[in-house]
Amino acid sequence: MSEGLKRFITGVVLLGILFFFLLYLRTLAIWTVDILVMAFLGVGMFEMYRATKLQQKPIIAPLVTFFVIVYPLWWFLRDIGVLIALSLSIIEALTIFTFALTDGEDKKVQKYDLHDLGVTLLTLIYPGLFVAMFMSVNYHAGDLLAILMMLIVPLMDDACAYFVGSKFGKHKLIPAISPKKSVEGLFGGIAGGILAQAIIFLLFEVFGVFSGWNNVLVPSISDKLYVSIPIYMVLALILVAADFAGDLVASRIKRIVGIKDYGKIFPGHGGVMDRLDSLIFAMPVVYVFFTFCREFGLLYQ
């Protein structure tokens, strides 16, 4: 089976699972999506730990602590709970970094250096903190509208960039970081992201497809189309830019540690972090936008 066909089949299966959770299980109980989020969070943090371990000695205890406590704290305290989980995990990492000793040539020496601490904190934030934002979006920061923006726009961007780049890519974009990325692929991704955002706009703002669905609020960015259309398009461009930056960050980390993919769990796509790389950067964009709109009452129902 060719790599392209393998990638396509895996992508279809992943989209099927995603839509099953979002458009079916979520209508039965919102918390069912949390299962998927926590599974991706756990595997993603493990993949980052394994990747950085090739160069440094990441401290595993605070990573485990964050994964174990973030969901219970979020459930009871919402966004503040995530901040508490991150704070406690950072304190634990700093404490271990300071007091953990190992045998040297003639005396006890520090077990971890600043680079080890750095990759530990990196993993707590990337993907830890970013993915934890998804739960807030799922419950109260934009609902299904925000979730689809967060997921579908970057995924369509990635798919179109890959297709256009592999078929028509001739001009290298940033070969020092990602040799396969091309200028043509970049513009293909921009077109794909805008197309995905236009579809979301039609579903929510024009046709009201999800009106009346269980556990689905139907927020509108504006009650006037001439206001909401440019906002949707600007958001699409920001998400495409975030997608591009996230992809490059993931590529940069992989080049530093000397790996092609973070894992092999998804045939043709690599690991969880290879799929989350662009989504992770889209999450704070959507989270901040819809949280701001919610706090200032800018969303219409």
Q: How many CB atoms lie within 10 A of CB 215?
A: 16
On whether both 197 and 293 belong to a single domain, the answer is: yes
On the question of pLDDT at 160 being above 90, the answer is yes
pLDDT at 283 over 70: yes
CA distance 252 to 176: 9
Examine residue 4 and state whether it is found in any structural domain, yes or no. no
Query: 127 pLDDT band (50/70/90 cuts)?
Result: very high
pLDDT (average), residues 70-87: 95
Q: Which amino acid is at 106?
A: D
Phi, psi of 39 (to 5 degrees): -65, -45
Question: Is 286 part of a structural domain of the chain?
Answer: yes
Cα–Cα distance measured from residue 243 to residue 262, given in angstroms and rounded to the nearest whole number: 18
Q: Are 281 and 249 in contact (CB under 8 A)?
A: yes
Q: 146 with 67, same domain?
A: no
pLDDT per residue over 173-223, tens digit each? 888 888 888 999 999 999 999 999 999 999 998 998 998 899 988 777 877
pLDDT at 56: 96
Domain that holds residue 224: 141-301
Q: What is the pLDDT of residues 251-266, one digit of tens each?
A: 999 999 999 999 989 8
Question: Which pLDDT score, from 0 to 100, does residue 226 have?
Answer: 86
Q: Are residues 130 and 157 both part of a single domain?
A: no
- The tally of domains found in the chain comes to 2
Q: Is the pLDDT of residue 245 over 90?
A: yes
Residue 7: inside a domain, yes or no? Answer: no
The tokens describing 95, both together, are 């404490």
The verdict on residue 10 lying in a domain is: no
Q: Is the confidence at residue 147, as pLDDT, over 70?
A: yes
Q: Is residue 114 part of a domain?
A: yes
**Could you tell me what percent of the chain has a pLDDT over 90?**
67
Average pLDDT over residues 45-50: 96
pLDDT above 80: residue 3: no
User: What is the spatial distance between Cα 137 and Cα 127, in angstroms, rounded to a whole number?
Assistant: 16
Out of 139, 170, 191, pick the residue that ends a domain: 139
Is there a single domain that holds both residue 132 and residue 237? no
Is 142 a residue whose pLDDT tops 80?
no
The DSSP string of 183-221 is: HHHHHHHHHHHHHHHHHHHIIIIIS-TTTT-TT----BS
**Residue 228 contacts by C-beta under 8 Å, 6 or more apart in sequence?**
201, 205, 220, 221, 222
SS3 helix, strand, coil % of the chain, rounded to 5? 75, 5, 20
Q: Is residue 216 a contact partner of residue 144, using CB atoms and an 8 Å limit?
A: yes
Do 182 and 105 sit in the same domain of this protein?
no
Buried b (16+ CB within 10 A) or exposed e, 255-270: eebebebbbebbebbb
Q: Bridge partners of 101?
A: 110
182 membership: H or E segment, kind and range: strand 178-182
Residue 39 counted as domain residue? yes
Strand locations in 31-134 (E) = 101-103, 108-110
Write down the mean pLDDT value for the chain. Answer: 91
Are 201 and 230 members of one domain?
yes
